[in-house]
Each structure stands twice: as structure tokens, then as C-alpha cells.
């Protein structure tokens, strides 16, 4: 077969998302979230895109987390197919499946806001010198100086 084995596929894009509609027969609508930096404001924004995917056995339902794969056009708007149901709705942990490592997310945020210090609950990415968490309280000396300054003003 001209160097290509039967049954294997080339590189196809794959995405993980949440089923937001399963009302059509053999078709689901999957919402996929991604992080991107705003071109003007340099803020990291969360973008969602909806894809229609082919579900041959109608196995995915509303709220399920699924993996979809790119395919040939199956209809006017359907160009993806269901690979697997990663997690059924209401099953397992209540947290969403994380597709991005916390260090990567922190690195994106720190790159978008250079010079900004990490706040409570945030971590600086490895290899950076950004301070973590709240800084130790200053000594009582500056408070005494401010009291003297208030007394000196008429």
C-alpha cells in the first residue's frame, strides 16, 4: 500500500472539551477552552470555541468531558469525530480536567504582566526571582516616623 499501512492515520489535531449539546442524532457540540494573550492589552484571556463532532453510537451526553479528533468533512459544519469519553458528567471529581500545568499558566501570566509581583495563591514559575506570597511586615520604625511627621505639621 505505497508505504502507508492500512488502519493508521496521519497527524490529526485532537482537543479535549465539554459537551454542551447532544440533542442531534449522532452529533454533539463540544466547547473547548484555551488561553490566549490579548494583542492590545496583553492580558491573558480565556476563549471558548464550539465544535460539532460525530458521535456514531450516541455515547456522549450533556456535561461529559470528551476527546475529539479532526476528520474529513462529514456535513456542512461537522469536521470532528468523537474519540473517547474522558469523564462522564457527575462521575469522579467535581473539578474540571486541567489541560495546562500550573507552572505554564503562571509563566503565561507573568509574561503578560512583567514587573508585577505574585499575589496570594499565585506561584512564580521556576527560574524567576518574583517574590511569592505576602512579604514580611516592616519594622515598627516607619510607623514612628510617620507619627513624628504628623506632629511636625501645623
Domain spans in the chain, listed from the N-terminal domain onward: 14-109
pLDDT of residue 116: 72
* Cα gap 89→154, rounded to integer Å: 68
pLDDT digits (tens, 9 = 90+) for 79-130: 999 999 999 998 765 555 555 566 666 777 777 777 776 665 555 555 555 5
> 44-54 and 78-87: which strand pairing?
parallel
Average pLDDT, the chain: 78
Predicted TM-score (pTM) of this structure: 0.56
pLDDT of residue 3: 47
Q: Which fold has domain 14-109?
A: OB fold (Dihydrolipoamide Acetyltransferase, E2P) (2.40.50)
Average pLDDT over residues 34-54: 96
Amino acid at each position: 500500500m505505497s508505504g502507508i499501512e492500512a488502519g493508521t492515520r496521519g497527524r490529526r489535531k485532537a482537543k479535549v472539551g465539554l459537551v454542551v449539546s447532544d440533542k442531534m442524532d449522532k452529533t454533539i457540540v463540544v466547547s473547548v477552552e484555551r488561553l490566549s494573550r490579548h494583542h492590545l492589552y496583553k492580558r491573558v484571556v480565556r476563549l471558548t470555541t464550539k465544535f460539532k463532532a460525530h458521535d456514531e453510537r450516541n455515547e456522549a451526553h450533556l456535561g461529559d468531558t470528551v476527546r475529539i479528533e479532526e476528520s474529513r468533512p462529514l456535513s456542512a459544519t461537522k469536521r470532528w469525530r468523537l474519540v473517547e469519553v474522558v469523564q462522564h458528567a457527575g462521575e469522579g471529581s467535581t473539578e474540571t480536567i486541567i489541560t495546562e500545568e500550573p507552572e505554564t499558566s503562571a509563566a503565561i501570566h507573568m509574561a503578560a504582566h512583567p514587573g508585577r509581583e505574585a499575589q496570594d495563591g499565585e506561584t512564580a514559575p521556576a527560574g524567576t526571582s518574583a517574590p511569592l506570597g505576602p512579604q514580611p511586615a516592616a519594622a515598627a520604625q516607619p510607623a514612628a516616623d510617620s507619627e513624628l511627621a504628623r506632629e511636625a505639621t501645623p
